[in-house]
Amino acid sequence: MHIHLAPSIATCLNATSFIDSDHSAIVAFADTHARGGSARERAVSLYLAVRDQVRYDPYRIDLSDHGMTASTALAQGFGWCVPKAVLLAAVARAAGIPARLGFADVKNHLSTEKLRQTMQTDVFVWHGYTELWIDDAWRKATPAFNIELCDKFGLLPLEFDGVHDSLYHAFDRAGRQHMEYVNDHGSFDDLPLAQIRAVFAEVYPSINAGQPIEGDFAADAAREAARG
């Protein structure tokens, strides 16, 4: 059955150099994990696969063109919020689900000491998530934190049902402040990498230098969460 889409939505099925939904590994991942009889069910299945099979790691940020593609995040098996959002957009497009990217600045009340020292702020600028076209509406999905990390850090895992927006929780399991959205940058059909690079160069000069933070983010998070 052919479904007619408005041109602006149909564009969100196209492969790009970053959202490389035509890459063989992306296509294979989508074929494997897009399970269900409806677009909503397939989107939820893809969301869970990206969330949990690609580890969240903000210690290793690579703002090169290659480092920010969906296929690179998939091949590496790790990524921070933006490449994981790009990956979800790519596998969704490969599965025939229109997808685009959304960005917002968030205040992160729970981080590791090493990450705070590097960033010199608790604001994560240009945090990325994915928007999926399901049942004639855009639904926000945030696949950043894999479930193992949530367990170690005492976070509530982000679920996605294809009906309601999946956005960061305001509080963790213990009731402590977690994430606060402070600025919305809107939606994009492709990754606005030039804008992200420019902001990172200004706000996070040490990260923009391209050197990974030494250590293991998940281990640091678990150790600091245990200390309370």
3.10.620.30, 3.40.50.1100, 3.40.50.300, 3.90.226.30: CATH of 7-227: 3.10.620.30
How confident is the model over 39-95, as pLDDT tens digits?
999 999 999 999 999 999 999 999 999 999 999 999 999 999 999 999 999 999 999
Alpha carbon 227 to chain centroid distance? Answer: 28
Measured distance CA(184)–CA(187) in Å, rounded: 9
Provide the residue count of the chain: 228
3-state secondary structure of 171: strand
Q: What is the dihedral of CA 189, 194, 195, 196, to 10 degrees?
A: 90
pLDDT at 177 (0 to 100): 63
How confident is the model over 167-223, as pLDDT tens digits?
866 656 667 666 788 899 999 999 999 999 999 999 988 776 667 888 888 888 778
pTM given for the model: 0.92
Question: What are the residue boundaries of the structural domains of the chain, listed by start?
Answer: 7-227
Nearest to 67 by CA among 220, 200, 168: 200
